[in-house]
C-alpha cells in the first residue's frame, strides 16, 4: 500500500477552502514520505481555471508526488442534496482529473434515481480511461455493505467502484475488518482512514439512515478506542489491496497539519510494514 495525504487535513470546517497554502501541504507530504495527494475542490476543482490546474499539477509533479484521487466539487464531500449533480454533468469533473493527471474521481449517490446517471457518467469516464468511486458514507446509497453491493451490481460498470472507509462503516454498525473487506474486495479502488470513537454523549453527530443519529468523538488515527486500524489494514493486506491508503482525517480542530501529517505517516507506515 502507498500513503496518500488528503488536503482535508488542512481544510476549514466548511470544506470549501484550506487553512494553509497548498505548497505547504505538498512540503509536508514530501517530508513525511507520502507518495500522493488526494485533491479536493477546497484546493482545486471545477471552479479552478484551467491555467491554475496546470500550475497545480506542475507543483505536485515537481514535488515528486501524484494526485491519487480528485473530488472535483464541494457538494460531494458535503454530501448534500446537490452531491449527485456531478453525475448528471460529469464532463467538468473529468476535465479536472485529466488536468491533474489523475484517473480516479470521487462521486456521490443519494437515491436510486441517481443510478442511471452513474452508469452514463462511468461510460463517459471510461472513454477517457478514468474511474469513478463512491466512499462508504452515511446517508448515501453506500452506508451498508449489502446495499452498496446491490448498487454496484446495478451500476455494473467496470470503472465504477468503492472507497473503503472503516469509520463510516463503524458508525453504521457494519463490519470493516476482513469479514467486510472480502465482500467489498472486487470493487475496491481506494481506501480512506479517519478515526472516530462512538459515544452516545459525544460532541459530534452524523445522521445515518440505517441507525439514526450517531454521536462520536474525532480522534487522531493513532489514539485507541475508535477504529481498529490493525484489523482494517490487516484485512486490506489479506484481500490483496495494494492501492493508496489516504489520510482522510479532519484534523483542523484537533491539531495542526504538521503534527497530523507527521504522526499519521509514522503510525500507518508501522501498520503497513
Minimal CA–CA distance to 3: which of 49, 36, 44, 39?
Answer: 36
- Give the contacts of 266 (CB within 8 A, at least 6 positions apart): 32
Give the class (CATH, top level) of 2-272: alpha beta
pLDDT digits over 113-160, tens only?
A: 999 999 999 999 999 999 999 999 999 999 999 999 999 999 999 999
Interatomic CA distance for residues 68 and 97, integer angstroms: 10
> What residue segments make up the domains of the chain, in order of their start?
2-272
Number of helical (H) and strand (E) elements in the chain, helices listed first: 11, 11
pLDDT the model gives residue 18: 76
- Cell, residue 193: 482512514
- Give the contacts of 202 (CB within 8 A, at least 6 positions apart): 215, 216, 217
Minimal CA–CA distance to 9: which of 221, 267, 233?
Answer: 221
* pLDDT tens, the chain, 273 aa long: 999 999 988 877 667 777 788 999 999 999 999 999 999 999 999 999 999 999 999 999 999 999 999 999 999 999 999 999 999 999 999 999 999 999 999 999 999 999 999 999 999 999 999 999 999 999 999 999 999 999 999 999 999 999 999 999 999 999 999 999 999 999 999 999 999 999 999 999 999 999 999 999 999 999 999 999 999 999 999 999 999 999 987 766 677 788 888 999 999 999 998
- Give the contacts of 186 (CB within 8 A, at least 6 positions apart): none
Interatomic CA distance for residues 87 and 2, integer angstroms: 28
Amino acid at each position: 500500500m502507498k500513503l496518500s495525504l488528503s488536503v482535508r487535513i488542512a481544510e476549514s470546517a466548511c470544506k470549501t477552502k484550506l487553512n494553509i497554502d497548498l505548497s505547504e501541504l505538498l512540503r509536508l507530504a514530501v517530508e513525511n514520505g507520502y507518495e500522493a495527494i488526494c485533491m479536493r475542490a477546497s484546493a482545486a476543482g471545477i471552479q479552478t481555471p484551467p491555467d491554475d490546474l496546470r500550475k497545480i499539477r506542475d507543483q505536485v509533479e515537481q514535488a515528486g508526488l501524484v494526485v491519487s484521487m480528485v473530488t472535483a466539487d464541494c457538494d460531494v464531500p458535503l454530501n448534500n442534496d446537490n452531491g449527485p449533480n456531478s453525475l448528471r454533468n460529469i464532463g467538468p469533473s473529468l476535465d479536472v482529473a485529466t488536468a491533474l493527471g489523475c484517473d480516479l474521481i470521487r462521486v456521490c449517490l443519494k437515491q436510486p434515481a441517481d443510478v442511471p446517471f452513474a452508469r452514463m457518467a462511468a461510460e463517459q469516464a471510461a472513454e477517457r480511461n478514468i474511474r469513478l468511486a463512491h466512499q462508504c458514507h452515511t446517508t448515501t446509497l453506500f452506508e451498508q455493505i449489502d446495499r452498496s453491493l446491490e448498487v454496484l451490481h446495478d451500476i455494473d460498470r467496470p470503472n465504477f467502484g468503492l472507497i473503503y472507509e472503516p469509520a463510516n462503516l463503524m458508525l453504521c454498525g457494519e463490519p470493516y475488518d476482513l469479514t467486510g473487506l472480502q465482500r467489498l474486495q472486487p470493487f475496491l479502488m481506494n481506501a480512506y482512514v479517519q478515526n472516530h470513537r462512538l459515544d452516545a454523549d459525544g460532541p459530534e453527530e452524523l445522521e445515518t439512515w440505517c441507525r439514526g443519529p450517531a454521536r462520536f468523538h474525532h480522534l487522531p488515527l493513532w489514539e485507541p478506542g475508535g477504529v481498529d486500524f490493525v484489523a482494517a489494514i490487516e484485512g486490506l493486506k489479506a484481500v490483496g489491496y495494494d492501492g493508496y491508503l489516504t489520510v482522510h482525517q479532519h484534523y483542523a480542530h484537533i491539531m495542526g497539519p504538521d503534527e497530523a501529517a507527521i504522526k499519521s505517516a509514522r503510525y500507518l507506515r508501522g501498520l503497513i510494514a
